[in-house]
Copies of this chain bind each other. A is one copy, B any other.
Amino acid sequence: MSAAGAAGGGGADVLIRGGLVMTMGDDGAVVEGDVRVVGGRIAEVGGGLAARGGERVLDARGAVVLPGFVQTHIHLCQTLFRNLADDLALLDWLGRRVWPLEAAHSRESLSASAELGVAELLLGGTTAIVDMGTVHHTEAVFEAIEAGGIRAVAGKCMMDHASCPDGLREDTRASIEASLALARRWHGAAGGRIRYGFSPRFILSCTDELMREVAALAEAHGYFVHTHSSENVDEIAIVAARAGARNVLALAALGIRGERTVLAHCVHLDEAERRELAAAGTRVSHCPSSNLKLGSGIADVPALLADGVHVSIGADGAPCNNRLDMWTEMRTAALLHKPRHGPTAMPAERVLAMATRGGAEAIGLGHELGQVRSGFLADLQVIALDDLLAGPGGTLASRLVYATERAAVRHVLVDGEVLVEDGRLVRWDRAAIAERAGRELAGCVARAGIS
């Protein structure tokens, strides 16, 4: 066992041998060779590296070595509710399903939901997330993140506006104090793998007082802010009526902006909002499947990118997707904008960069995450290309984005620790997670009183 690095995790040193290494570096280099991981970080990338005593060797022959995916908008608390809120209009989706179910979470059911989500994410090659918890019990989400080994910016959901539903509505001070207690406990935990993100649900669920204080506290302590914005035309109309401005500008006026702020969705923006996002460096999380499934619309990502807005990708919660799978999101993001912008828009290379390096930048780690590069954190995946679907023609990026699925993911490492080996979870028993999820879901549905 090597000593863990400052931000590195446990586990032996690792040699990933004989793969096609997509470095995702500025030069787009693909290296035929090996990756050595020492103390949770990438130590060497190159051909013919010899195994050292005590190193664990992972076979990557015929496979691609890629940085792990970073999904910048996830709700682990909703994973349990997958397939329970399909083909419903947004108000029914929230009011009849998602909010009652979230409010019915016990600490145990929330823990089961988060484990289920972390397991799916890791098995699909996602090594880091930005997660929005629910109002109560969010310590259970952090515990699942810590136990599962995934990297995360996470926080408890904040809902202090008078319009919020019973069971979720909070007192403003209590919401902030509960958030700060979690932040003090978890920001920097697990060797830096876990960090805190204030998570006001969206502008309509929060008072201006709360938003302003969240912005100030995040700035003072280096926490992130993660919220929803501009998802739905009805929401935008209500925000305009209440705040006298469109979402992005209303949020900016409250201080919710900048490089440590992640806004999910941004489906409907005007030019002034795009300019504000670009100027502030605010991060946008594009959630193409979720935006389709809820009928929200198609975010104009090519326009955002052209204006210099930082865009990364997320699956959102399981009920509005119904997967937490970056492979599905990449393909959808690559295809969805072509009718409007033409078939050369959103090429595979660009989407793959958004899913890896772009996500790392969104969580403030662009300098040490999202590339296969000496000194960078060893959050990596090894993908065995499907012999029928993904080979042999075309570029590697095309083969990955258009013709590869999560079933191809063989090995996954976070902080140099092997969390998935040969398609199997190392830390957790998959069957036990599934069994527990079924049991806890039944309890949750009964408590929520939904049919």
Whether, in the assembled complex, A411 has its beta carbon less than 8 Å from a beta carbon of chain B, the answer is no
Task: Collect the chain B residues with CB atoms within 8 Å of residue A96's CB.
Answer: none
Question: Quick check: B343 and A294 within 8 Å, CB to CB?
Answer: yes
List which A375-426 residues lie within 8 A (CB) of chain B.
387-395, 398-399, 402-403, 405-407
Question: Quick check: A343 and B83 within 8 Å, CB to CB?
Answer: no
> A interface, how many residues as a size bin?
35 or more
Q: Mask for A73-112, Cβ within 8 A of B = 1, else 0?
A: 0000000111110111110010000000000000000000
Whether, in the assembled complex, A312 has its beta carbon less than 8 Å from a beta carbon of chain B, the answer is no
Whether, in the assembled complex, A298 has its beta carbon less than 8 Å from a beta carbon of chain B, the answer is yes
Task: Collect the chain B residues with CB atoms within 8 Å of residue A275's CB.
Answer: none
Whether, in the assembled complex, A297 has its beta carbon less than 8 Å from a beta carbon of chain B, the answer is yes
A293 and chain B: residue at smallest CB distance: B335
Q: Mask for A103-131, Cβ within 8 A of B = 1, else 0?
A: 00000000000001001100100000000
Number of copies: 2
Question: Quick check: B339 and A387 within 8 Å, CB to CB?
Answer: no
Task: Collect the chain B residues with CB atoms within 8 Å of residue A407's CB.
Answer: 405, 407
Whether, in the assembled complex, A338 has its beta carbon less than 8 Å from a beta carbon of chain B, the answer is yes
Question: Quick check: A339 and B403 within 8 Å, CB to CB?
Answer: no
In the bound complex, how far is the Cα of B337 from the Cα of A293, in angstroms? 9
Question: Which one of A331, A389, A390 has the highest number of Cβ atoms from chain B below 10 Å of its Cβ?
Answer: A389
List which A342-361 residues lie within 8 A (CB) of chain B.
342-348
A340 and chain B: residue at smallest CB distance: B295
Known: A120-B389, A339-B295, A341-B295. A394 touches B83 (CB 8 A): yes
Task: Collect the chain B residues with CB atoms within 8 Å of residue A37's CB.
Answer: none
In the bound complex, how far is the Cα of B116 from the Cα of A402, in angstroms? 17
Question: Quick check: A335 and B433 within 8 Å, CB to CB?
Answer: no
Whether, in the assembled complex, A183 has its beta carbon less than 8 Å from a beta carbon of chain B, the answer is no
Whether, in the assembled complex, A310 has its beta carbon less than 8 Å from a beta carbon of chain B, the answer is no
Contact of A403 among B83, B331, B405, B433 (CB under 8 A): B83
Give the distance to chain B from A326, nearest Cβ to Cβ, in Å: 14
List which A213-256 residues lie within 8 A (CB) of chain B.
none
Give the distance to chain B from A325, nearest Cβ to Cβ, in Å: 8
Give the distance to chain B from A358, nearest Cβ to Cβ, in Å: 18
Known: A323-B389, A405-B406. A339 touches B291 (CB 8 A): yes
Known: A82-B393, A120-B389. A343 touches B402 (CB 8 A): no
Whether, in the assembled complex, A190 has its beta carbon less than 8 Å from a beta carbon of chain B, the answer is no
Question: Quick check: B394 and A338 within 8 Å, CB to CB?
Answer: no
Give the distance to chain B from A213, nearest Cβ to Cβ, in Å: 34
Task: Collect the chain B residues with CB atoms within 8 Å of residue A123's CB.
Answer: 388
Task: Collect the chain B residues with CB atoms within 8 Å of residue A388's CB.
Answer: 116, 119-120, 123, 430, 433-434, 437
Whether, in the assembled complex, A322 has its beta carbon less than 8 Å from a beta carbon of chain B, the answer is yes
Whether, in the assembled complex, A285 has its beta carbon less than 8 Å from a beta carbon of chain B, the answer is no
Question: Quick check: B338 and A294 within 8 Å, CB to CB?
Answer: yes
A101 and chain B: residue at smallest CB distance: B393
Whether, in the assembled complex, A438 has its beta carbon less than 8 Å from a beta carbon of chain B, the answer is yes
Question: Quick check: A394 and B82 within 8 Å, CB to CB?
Answer: yes
Q: Mask for A40-74, Cβ within 8 A of B = 1, else 0?
A: 00000000000000000000000000000000000
In the bound complex, how far is the Cα of B348 from the Cα of A211, in angstroms? 39
Contact of A83 among B120, B293, B339, B390 (CB under 8 A): B390
In the bound complex, how far is the Cα of B293 from the Cα of A431, in angstroms? 37
List which A273-323 residues lie within 8 A (CB) of chain B.
289, 291-298, 321-323
Task: Collect the chain B residues with CB atoms within 8 Å of residue A395's CB.
Answer: 83, 86
Question: Quick check: A292 and B339 within 8 Å, CB to CB?
Answer: yes
Give the distance to chain B from A234, nearest Cβ to Cβ, in Å: 12
Whether, in the assembled complex, A369 has its beta carbon less than 8 Å from a beta carbon of chain B, the answer is no
Task: Collect the chain B residues with CB atoms within 8 Å of residue A348's CB.
Answer: 86-87
Whether, in the assembled complex, A441 has its beta carbon less than 8 Å from a beta carbon of chain B, the answer is yes
Task: Collect the chain B residues with CB atoms within 8 Å of residue A392's CB.
Answer: 437-438, 441
Task: Collect the chain B residues with CB atoms within 8 Å of residue A328's CB.
Answer: 331
**Which 5 residue pairs of A and B lie closest in terms of their CB atoms, listed nearest first?**
A83-B394, A407-B407, A387-B434, A292-B335, A295-B343
